[in-house]
Structure formats: structure tokens, C-alpha cells
Amino acid sequence: MAYTLLVLLVGVERLAEMVVARRNERWSRERGAVVSGQGHYPWMVALHTGLLAGCLIEVAVADRPFLPWLGWPMLALVVAAQGLRWWCIATLGPQWNTRVIVVPGMPLVTGGPYRWVRHPNYVAVAVEGAALPLTHTAWVTALVFTVANAVLMVVRIRCEEAALRLASTRSTA
């Protein structure tokens, strides 16, 4: 029951992200934003939805136990990943989005966690994607998400980097 509540809370957190993303998208479009990566976005939504569903289904169907020696450290990582994600959101402010949306002329953010890591939100996603299922030993979900997310992140980061390069050339032209 506690694990189901945890997964549902992460789902509510995702809905909160979507509210912030939609607000930020309106802000960005008002400033001439360029939207990229529409093709991979539905796959990303499906993967993240599948993570939550997989956590619940695998634990129920495969009767996965809660192992304290694994579950508690993984829960700490889930909480840390949420903290990192919201630090990214706060640092980027209205420029943060779940989509690749770049406002030409806006400076590249280099504060907060971006001081140390180019894409810290993706670190949070990778940590959470492994840790959330492993909180209740759903190792198949953790493995499938991790592999699929790695493939998707190659596409996503290439798309994001290209969009940032394009926006910086437009702002200097």
C-alpha cells in the first residue's frame, strides 16, 4: 500500500510538472519560441507513463517483496531525484519545459545545477527511473526503463543541443 501511494505521488508530481510546462510554453511562445523534437515527445510521455504503470504492475503480478536494505536507499534516491528536478525547474524558471522549446536570444542558463552538469534534469530522470521501481524490487521495470530511457536521451539531447545552437545563431545574426 505504501509503495502504491509513493508511485501515485510521483504521478501527481508529473501532473504538476505538466501544469508548469504548459504555463512556461505560453510564456515562451509569446517571446517567439522555437519548438523542436515533436516526434520523440509522445515516446517520452509513453515511457514515463509506462514507468509508473510498470512499477505497480510488476510488484503486484510478480509479487515483488520490499527489501529494506534495497528499498530504503532507493527511496532516498527517489526523493533526491525529485529535489534535483525541482531545482532544475526553479533555476530555469519560465524557460523550463518538458518539450524542447527555446526562446531565441535568451542566454544559456549556467547557474544552479547547470554549473556542474549540462543536463541535470536528465540525471534526475535516470536516477528516478532506476530507483523508483527498485524501491520495491521491480527490477524488470527498472531495467527496461533504464535501457529505453538511454536510447531516448540520445535522441532528446541531440535535439536539445541542436535547438540551443540554432537559437544562439539566430540571436547573433
Virtual torsion, Cα 108, 19, 146, 49, nearest 10 deg? -160
Contacts of 91 (CB under 8 A, 6+ apart): 109, 111, 112, 113, 114
Please state the rounded mean pLDDT for residues 103-121. Answer: 92
With a pLDDT cut of 70, the percent of the chain lying above it is 97
Q: How confident is the model at residue 153 (pLDDT cuts 50, 70, 90)?
A: very high
Is the confidence at residue 151, as pLDDT, over 80?
Answer: yes
Record the pTM: 0.91
In the block, cell 510498470 appears at: 54
128 vs 122: CA distance, rounded Å = 10
Q: Output the CA–CA distances (angstroms, integers) from residue 4 to 57, 143, 157, in the order listed.
A: 10, 20, 31
Q: Which residues pair with 36 in a beta bridge?
A: 100
In the block, cell 505521488 appears at: 9
Q: pLDDT tens, 37-96?
A: 889 999 999 999 999 999 999 999 999 999 999 999 999 999 999 999 999 999 999 999
What CATH code would you report for 2-172?
1.20.120.1630
Give the 3-state DSSP-derived string for 113-150, with helices as H, strands as E and coil as C: HHHCCCCHHHHHHHHHHHHHHHCCCCHHHHHHHHHHHH
Q: pLDDT tens, 95-106?
A: 999 999 999 888
